[in-house]
Amino acid sequence: MTGKHFFIIIFCVLFAGGGAVAQTPDNSAVSRFDALQNYRTGRDLEARGRTDEAERYYAEAVRICQEEIARNAANMDSYTVLTWTLQRQRKYGEVVSWGQRALQVQSDYRIIETLGEAYFYLGNYSESLRNMQRYANALPQGDRASVAYFFIGEIFRIQNKFFLADIAYTTAVRLEPGSALWWYRLGTVRESAGDAAPAAEAYEQALRLNANYQEAREGLERVRPTAPGLRA
């Protein structure tokens, strides 16, 4: 794919919209820091499988954020950490409720991206897509741009829009090439579209990142015979 073609097709995925990010200085830095530290500690514990301990830190982060918002309803950092934490707790309905409340105060793309994830897990793909496209369109190099593109790809894959899913997944792995899952997903939509050689390339990259990725190996075995020029 040429660079010119790449940028043209990205444009097709996105739609215009979204204003500048409004950022509010945090007037309670100590409280916010405590909440953020609790969130990060909980996330690290969760990654190590210590879910009960993680939940205690998440609960404390939620408590701090809610108390801070009660004192200052315009504190966007507290809304942000709160929605991040509720997302880790899989309380997606609460993420939406608090996120919508935050956006009534002001636009904040951290909240918008988190809402996109929550809507996805709630099965509301239209709202998820709207929020993810809004984030990616406004912040194409933002901290969560690769994640936004991945979720856009997931939605288009679920909707059997394989060409658009290919565009989104390709963008995601260009921004963050280290996820075996993302390369595998790219392989699946290319395979579904009948693009055997590009699918094989994606499956191979997934296996380079995770040699034990059985689904990627099975995908490669399916497409290899029909992909000319692939090594045996």
Residue 189 and residue 166: Cα distance in Å, rounded? 6
Q: Which two tokens stand for residue 193?
A: 């579209």
Task: Please tell me the pTM assigned to this model.
Answer: 0.83
Q: What is the DSSP string of 109-165?
A: HHHHHHHHHHHHHTT-HHHHHHHHHHHHHH-TTSTTHHHHHHHHHHHHHHTT-HHHH
- pLDDT category, 31, cuts 50, 70, 90? low
The whole-number pLDDT of residue 14 equals 41
What tens digit of pLDDT does each residue of 39-54 get? 999 999 999 999 999 9
What tens digit of pLDDT does each residue of 200-221 get? 999 999 999 999 999 999 999 9
What's the mean pLDDT in 178-186?
A: 98
For 23-106, CATH gives 1.25.40
Q: Which two tokens stand for residue 91?
A: 């309380």
